[in-house]
Structure 1
Amino acid sequence: MALWIFIFLLMGVLGIKVFHISLIDLIPAHCILYEKYGLYCTGCGGTRAAVALMNGHFVKSFIYHPAMIYSVLLLMLFVCSDIINNVFKTKKKKLQLSPGCFYIMVGIIIGQCLIKNILLIFFNYKII
């Protein structure tokens, strides 16, 4: 199952790259918090980060929303682990997510939101 998900994701990314599809124009990115108060929310930049990542712009993706890179790395870890277990028929226990991974993700999300808003409020620097 994980192998099929990986194959379809890879085909999608390759399709976007080969046909030069600009997903940022197709996906509306409206943030009520930003429109009303001029502040970034915890999810601001997530869509742009996903699009940048699919186009191979890893640094841009990290700048837009670092949690996207972290999520993809975790997904790759799980998929590779599952593929190795299935191909080599190992009797290893399946990889499970520890609570620490969740806390790291929450820290990344809150930290990036604080940094973006501090840069916006005090230095008038817009990341997104």
Structure 2
Amino acid sequence: MKKNRDVKLEKNIYAAGWLLLLVGIILLAVKRIFPADFALPPCVFHKWTGYYCPGCGGTRAVKALLRGDVIGSFFYHPVVLYGAVLYGWYMLSHTVEYLSKGRLRISIPYTEKYLYGAVFIILIQWILKNGVKIIWGIDLI
């Protein structure tokens, strides 16, 4: 049985997507005006255990993607690239549909499958990075 699309939810996600873009642009503009590098505190999980947490590499992946280093971003944390592609696809398809006033019905529907995909990617990369560290003693990030 096919589930009906939640149009209100999709519109809210679309609006949140524009807000996210606006905040990102403002933050990048502020960083260009006031060039200062900041350091995040070390990962508590990594500090206590010596192993990578499921989110390790996420900040580096975002920075790499903003520099245009797609391969580096994927290497640091593939879920960042996955999220960026989904974000772009969702926003572009919904924008085209809204601008065409529904004549071009190309927008991708929101579905929890995308979230499950992200969880799967996070778990796989976490297992692989720690596996390489445990088996071969190689720190990947």
The interval holding the TM-score normalised by the smaller chain is 0.7 to 0.9
Please list every run of 5 or more consecutive structure 1 residues that lacks an aligned counterpart in the other structure: none
One of 70, 78, 97 as aligned partner of 1:85: 97
Computing the radius of gyration over CA atoms, which structure comes out larger, 1 or 2?
A: 2
Deviates more, 1:71-80 or 1:9-18: 9-18
Tell me if 1:116 matches 2:129.
Answer: yes
The Cα shift of 1:86 comes to: 2.0
The Cα shift of 1:123 comes to: 1.1
Q: TM-score, normalised by structure 1?
A: 0.79
One of 48, 52, 71 as aligned partner of 1:59: 71
* RMSD between superposed Cα atoms in Å: 2.9
Question: What letter matches 2:62 in structure 1?
Answer: A
Question: Matched residue of 1:26: which SS?
Answer: coil
Moved over 6 A (4+): 16-19
Deviates more, 1:118-127 or 1:31-40: 118-127
Give the paired residue count: 126
Q: Distance in 1 between matches of 2:21 and 2:45?
A: 36
- 1:8 is matched with 22
The answer to whether the 8 A contact 1:49-1:60 is kept is yes
Of all paired residues, the percent bearing the same amino acid is: 30
Please list every run of 5 or more consecutive structure 2 residues that lacks an aligned counterpart in the other structure: 1-14
Q: TM-score, normalised by structure 2?
A: 0.73
The Cα shift of 1:75 comes to: 0.5
The Cα shift of 1:48 comes to: 0.8
The Cα shift of 1:118 comes to: 0.7
